[in-house]
Amino acid sequence: MNIGLTYDLKSDYAASGLSAEDIAEFDNEETIAGIEKALTACGHNAQRIGNIRSLTARLAAGETWDFVFNIAEGIQGAGRESQVPCLLEAWNIPYSFSCPLTLALCLHKGMAKRVIRDAGLATPDFAIAEKIQDAEGLSLPYPLFVKPAAEGTGKGINAASRVENPTELHRAAAALLERFRQPVLIETYLPGREFTVGVTGTGEAARSAGCMEIHYAAGEAYSYTNKADYENRVSYTPGSGAAAEGAVSLALAAYRVLGCRDGGRIDIRCDAAGKPSFIEANPLAGLNPVHSDLPITARLNGISYEELIRRILASAFERTGLT
């Protein structure tokens, strides 16, 4: 099968004046080469397309593909991950991973939590501050955790994200509103174990691709800095025990409620009593063969990178009628 590959490559944007943090969610050559190799191993012909501008130009020139393996993150706005899927749908080209609605919903963590809460699934109590006044007079008990509503890769998260009083909340929220120019999510801080759960498949066919527990220094958070230097700052182990089992069950329920497809990752954290709660969904999870959380989770649980890609493709092909 002729499979196009859409992505945002760090090197394509590095010369445009964007910072390392600005392009943190984008991919490097190692990721694209890894996906190409896995697609080829699955018997397909992989063709690089690149970002949305390249895709637009090539579609306008009359090019097409049997299927597109899409990992493009987009550059601007809370709907940025939906841009390439919208374009592919306009051309009636089947593609991997979630639809535009789910991608936009999950990127805005507050909106996703509203859907999760409405479905009766556990998630920390929260508020969304679109301006600094929205962060004042909240009834949420301290400590709280503050982060940008629509960023990934731990951007905007650091040791100061946990706040103990209104003064710290005001300072943290104001800094994020100024820096990221988007709403801020304020939620009850959960002090328990932290897991990420890999998932492949769609709907009732969705299955766990492993549960991984994340460990970092006391007082720290799973931040952009810690993720960037995870080999020195973070350790990972396969999830175990009742809490991990609960995390997997909750992750699968959340994945289905949010309409995630083919593959992704759900982040779970436990409260002081060990009860798992939904933190966020990653329907377009990173796929670097070595460094990304989903492949690491799969690897820790006996699933090779090639097998992970094969499962994602199998779901997408069945869903789109290509099998």
What one-character DSSP code corresponds to residue 20?
A: T
- Verify cis geometry, omega within 30 degrees of 0, for the bond prior to 143: yes
Which strands make up the sheet holding 144-148, listed edge to edge? 126-129, 184-188, 144-148, 162-163
CA 85 to chain centroid: 16
User: Which tokens hold the place of 263?
Assistant: 């593959």
Q: Does residue 267 contact residue 241 with C-beta atoms inside 8 Å?
A: no
**Distance of alpha carbon 190 from alpha carbon 208, whole angstroms:** 23
CA 276 to chain centroid: 18
How would you classify residue 244: left for phi > 0, otherwise alpha for psi between -120 and 50, otherwise beta? alpha
Domains of the chain: residue spans and CATH:
2-96 (3.40.50.20), 126-188 (3.30.1490), 191-320 (3.30.470.20)
Please give the pLDDT value at position 15.
Answer: 75
Q: Does residue 317 contact residue 163 with C-beta atoms inside 8 Å?
A: no
User: Which tokens hold the place of 241?
Assistant: 């025990």
Please give the pLDDT value at position 225.
Answer: 61
pLDDT tens, per residue, the chain with 323 residues: 999 999 999 988 877 778 888 888 899 999 999 999 999 999 999 999 999 999 999 999 999 999 999 999 998 888 999 999 999 999 999 999 999 999 999 999 999 999 999 999 999 999 999 999 999 999 999 999 999 999 987 899 988 899 999 999 999 999 999 999 999 999 999 999 999 999 999 999 999 999 999 998 766 666 556 556 666 778 999 999 999 999 999 999 999 999 999 999 999 999 999 999 999 999 999 999 999 999 999 999 999 999 999 999 999 999 999 97
Which strands make up the sheet holding 194-200, listed edge to edge? 234-238, 207-216, 194-200, 263-270, 276-282
**Distance of alpha carbon 316 from alpha carbon 95, whole angstroms:** 7
User: Which tokens hold the place of 299?
Assistant: 């690897």
Q: Does residue 123 contact residue 116 with C-beta atoms inside 8 Å?
A: yes
